[in-house]
Each structure stands twice: as C-alpha cells, then as structure tokens.
C-alpha cells in the first residue's frame, strides 16, 4: 500500500505512547489510536460493527468491538519481523462504531452500507470488527458498488453459503450465498480455509460447487499444510480481494468465545502469532501478493478477542510490507 499523497488537516494519528501512559489507562479505542470520524483524514479505518442479530446459536458478538478495543491496548507498534510500524506510515484511527439497529437486520444492513460508503469513496482501507458474520453482506454491497465484484478469502469453520434459516434469507449462515446471488462475488474466486464439522447433508455443498468455491477443509489443512492453500493463491493475484476472518476458524481450545464452536480448527499460533512471522502460510503471504481492498471482519463474541486484535494489527502491518 503506497503512502498517501493526499493533504490532511489533522496531525498524523498515533497510538497513545505506553511509555508515557501505561497501557491499562485511558479511554478504550482500537489499538489506543485516536478516534477520528472524518474519512478524508485517514488511510486505514478500524471500524466497529456491533451487531449480532444474525446469530443462530450463542449470541454476544455485539460486544465484540468493545472488547477488542480493550484487549488491543496490549499491542505495541513495532513489528520486529516485518520491520514496520504500521501506524507511523499510514494514517490509521478508530473510526468508531457504525450505528446498527439491534431490532432489525435489514435496517442494520442499510446502515452498514451507508456507513462504509463514504470511507470507500475517498479510498480508505477498512478493517471492520464485528459483530456476527452477517455484516459481511452489506460491507460487500458497499465494496461492489465502488469496485465491482471482488474475490474473497474467508477463514471460517463454516462456508456461510446456506440459503435460509427459519424462513429468513439473512443470518450469519447466509451472507456469501446472498453475495453470489447479488453478483458481489465471482465464481472461482472464493477461497474458504478451515471448513469443518457436520452439515445437514451432502447437498449443502452443491451451491459451493456450482460457483467453483475453493474449499480447504481444516482436515486437509492439518494434513497437507500450507501448500494446499498456496496452490489456490495464483487465482487471486493482482485482483481486489476481501479478506474475512471468522474467529471460529480458530479452534475453540484457543478461541472459546465464538458463537458456534467447532473442534479441530486452526491454532492460535497460526491466527495470532505466526501471522507476524514470515511463515509462508501467513496472511503476510496472502496480502503481499494481493492488493486487498478490505480486511477482516470478525464474527465472535467477546471472550477471546486478542487473536482478533492481533490479526487486525498484523493486517495493517502487512499492507505496508506489500507492493
Ligand atoms: Mn463460522
Ligand atoms: Mn462465518
């Protein structure tokens, strides 16, 4: 991501210095960054989307952004593996929360789409922190309006391609099916990593096959390692990619706070720690070879947010080290 050439009125936003104000002090913001609500002042916006009206099992992710803010205070600015301070080079801030409607999923979707649009309009890179995974649909709608259909890399235990639940077309189990139907995604350019667990029947995968979704199950990942993921990446090169991390991609032993825990997942070593390294399976590898227009929006409740905070921070670092 090249440094911005735009002119700014506000001083360069920086996280509160933990050597002056201890990390447990102050008002919680993402990564202790200033709260800035003018899109034109930013390169990267960290945005809370505290909505869980799309959950079908354990609720709670409405508290996700608040808890990620608190937990992200532990992050320090310098990444010693990538040799970068992401906040020094790019104007990054806590944009605040989008104004969701806890009683209406449709109204929330239009609020999210309207909330994201002005950021995309001026070229801000957005890192959305959910919230349940249903919020990906309105975000993708806003993205597609600006950029056209995009590719998708999704870390998730579930493919979220179901048709409906209790008669509703909108839930955390359906966003990417709706996105295909609305031409927000492209056939053959969706990669899902970490899939596992039981489904209702073999035909649950029909839609994915129809749209040539690239599926890397957790089982395959554990058996064959990174090579199997890398083999898909060529299809995404030089294309705008929306990357999304559902925290249940990570095994509940490491991230128990998720709404639909599923055993046999990726480890926190991958999700949080190795993403800071030059290990070839990390998002670094993904993002260095790709120009992502968007990053992770995370579905989960509030009990284990450090991996999400870490992932978001790492993502920003990665943009800096990319082309
Ligand atoms: Mn999931
Ligand atoms: Mn999901």
Ligand nearest to the CA of 157: 1
Residue found by looking up tokens 């955390």 in the block: 172
Q: Report how far ligand 1's centroid is from the alpha carbon of 305 (Å).
A: 15
Q: Each residue of 62-104: pLDDT tens digit?
A: 988 988 898 888 888 887 777 778 899 889 999 999 999 999 9
Q: Report how far ligand 1's centroid is from the alpha carbon of 69 (Å).
A: 22
pTM recorded for the entire structure: 0.88
Ligand nearest to the CA of 171: 2
Q: Report how far ligand 1's centroid is from the alpha carbon of 96 (Å).
A: 25
Q: Each residue of 248-300: pLDDT tens digit?
A: 888 888 888 788 889 999 887 665 444 444 433 344 444 433 344 444 444 44
Give me the domains of the chain, ranges plus CATH numbers.
Answer: 30-321 (3.40.800.10)
Q: Report how far ligand 1's centroid is from the alpha carbon of 195 (Å).
A: 8
Q: What is the layout of strands, in order, in the sheet containing 92-97?
A: 92-97, 44-49, 125-130, 292-294, 241-245, 150-155, 185-195, 214-217
Q: Report how far ligand 1's centroid is from the alpha carbon of 177 (Å).
A: 14
Q: Report how far ligand 1's centroid is from the alpha carbon of 196 (Å).
A: 9
Residue spans of alpha helices (H) in 161-205:
175-181
308 and 245 Cβ atoms separated by less than 8 Å: yes
* Listed residue (178, 155, 125, 99) closest to 300, CA to CA: 155
Ligand nearest to the CA of 134: 2
Q: Report how far ligand 1's centroid is from the alpha carbon of 142 (Å).
A: 22
Q: Each residue of 216-229: pLDDT tens digit?
A: 999 999 998 778 88
Ligand nearest to the CA of 260: 1
Arithmetic mean of pLDDT over the chain: 84
Q: Report how far ligand 2's centroid is from the alpha carbon of 210 (Å).
A: 20
């Amino acid at each position: 991501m090249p440094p911005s050439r735009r002119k700014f009125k506000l001083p360069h936003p920086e996280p509160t210095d933990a050597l002056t104000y201890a990390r447990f002090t102050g008002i919680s913001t993402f990564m202790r960054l200033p709260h800035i609500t003018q899109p034109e002042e930013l390169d990267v916006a960290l945005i809370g989307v505290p909505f869980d009206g799309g959950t079908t099992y354990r609720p709670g992710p409405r508290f996700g952004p608040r808890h990620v803010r608190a937990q992200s205070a532990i992050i320090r600015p310098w990444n010693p593996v990538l040799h970068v301070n992401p906040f020094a080079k790019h104007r990054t801030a806590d944009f605040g929360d989008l104004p969701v409607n806890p009683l209406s999923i449709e109204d929330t979707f239009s609020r999210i789409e309207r909330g994201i649009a002005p950021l995309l309009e001026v070229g801000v890179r957005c890192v959305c922190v959910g919230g349940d995974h249903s919020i990906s649909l309105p975000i993708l709608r806003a993205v597609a309006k600006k950029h056209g259909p995009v590719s998708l890399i999704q870390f998730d235990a579930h493919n979220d391609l179901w048709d409906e639940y209790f008669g509703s077309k909108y839930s955390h189990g359906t966003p990417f099916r709706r996105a295909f139907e609305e031409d927000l995604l492209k056939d053959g350019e969706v990669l899902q990593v970490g899939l596992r667990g039981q489904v209702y029947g073999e035909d649950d995968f029909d839609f994915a096959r129809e749209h040539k979704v690239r599926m890397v199950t957790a089982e395959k990942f554990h058996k064959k390692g990174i090579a199997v993921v890398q083999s898909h990446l060529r299809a995404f090169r030089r294309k705008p990619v929306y990357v999304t991390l559902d925290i249940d991609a990570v095994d509940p032993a490491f991230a128990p706070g998720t709404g639909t825990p599923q055993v046999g997942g990726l480890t926190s070593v991958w999700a949080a720690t190795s993403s800071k390294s030059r290990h070839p399976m990390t998002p670094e590898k993904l993002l260095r070879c790709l120009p992502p227009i968007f990053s992770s929006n995370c579905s989960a409740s509030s009990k284990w947010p450090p991996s999400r905070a870490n992932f978001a921070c790492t993502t920003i670092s990665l943009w800096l080290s990319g082309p």
